[in-house]
Amino acid sequence: MMLHIPEILTKDEVADIRQQLQSAEWADGRETVGEQGAKVKRNQQLPELSSAGRIMGNRILRLLVKHPLFLSAAIPYRYVPPLFNRYEGGEHYGFHVDGSIRTIPGTSLSLRTDLSCTLFLTEPDEYDGGELIVSDTYGEHEVKLPAGDLILYPSSSLHKVEPVTRGARICSFFWVQSMVADDSKRTMLYELDQNIQTLRLQIGDTPELVGLTGHYHNLLRQWAQL
């Protein structure tokens, strides 16, 4: 499932993070990928252990872990802390699939990448190109979101970033290991949860709704891996 989650960050939070990024030191994005990725990746990134990057990444994580829609869709278990990238002057990232296992920088912990997330930090009219293209069995999906919005998609998807031909595209990106590895099961849980939430607002906690909530948790209990 691909999901657009609006307004993870307010415009003020975006402006503040952008301000901090101006004085940060960018490095070649090829430092964080494997052999196939390095052949097609042309962009800049904050180094994984950059202190500014870690502070801003943790700030984003603190907002994510209390965001109801994100939690419902991702059912997160572990995160690779958010990193930051910049594309300008024709930079791009050709078709690739994100590596399946990543080590959390500065630790010996590894996680399985179930979900890839991109959080946009520049407005669509600040740059030309730079669309994130995600290819799945339904075709190719083009994503270019307002600053502060996030796209979440299965890490198993083939994807690319089109060349940025004017201005700069700045994003934060990270991976999530979900408690539910299987995308179709996670999608069913998300849809069930969203319908339960909507019904709760409409009719309150009727016995049937309590039963459905129990059903959600019993499915999650069967499918979750901790």
Q: Would you count residue 91 as binding Ni ion (CB under 5 A)? A: no
Of 73-81, 94-102, 199-207, 208-216, which segment contacts Ni ion by CB under 5 A?
A: 94-102
DSSP 78-138: EEEEEEEEEEETT-EEEEE---SEEEPTTSS-EEE--EEEEEE-S-GGG-EE--EEEEETT
Q: Residue count at the site for Ni ion (CB under 5 A)?
A: 1
Residue nearest to Ni ion (CB): 98
Q: How would you classify the pairing of strands 92-96 and 41-42?
A: antiparallel
Radius of gyration of the chain (CA): 18
The site map against Ni ion for 132-171 (x = CB under 5 A) is ----------------------------------------
CB 190 to Ni ion: min, Å: 22
Q: Which is nearer to Ni ion, 98 or 183 (CB)?
A: 98
Of 44-52, 81-89, 93-101, 121-129, which segment contacts Ni ion by CB under 5 A?
A: 93-101
Q: How far apart are CA 26 and CA 208, in angstroms?
A: 54
From 98, 114, 131, 162, residue interacting with Ni ion (rule: CB under 5 A) = 98
CB 119 to Ni ion: min, Å: 14
SS3 at position 189:
helix
Strands (E), the chain: 3-5, 27-28, 41-42, 44-45, 76-88, 92-96, 101-103, 110-112, 115-120, 128-129, 132-136, 139-143, 150-154, 158-161, 164-166, 168-178
State the amino acid at position 151 in one-letter form. Answer: I
Of 90-98, 138-146, 182-190, 203-211, which segment contacts Ni ion by CB under 5 A?
A: 90-98
CB 155 to Ni ion: min, Å: 8
The site map against Ni ion for 27-66 (x = CB under 5 A) is ----------------------------------------
Contact residues for Ni ion (CB under 5 A)? 98
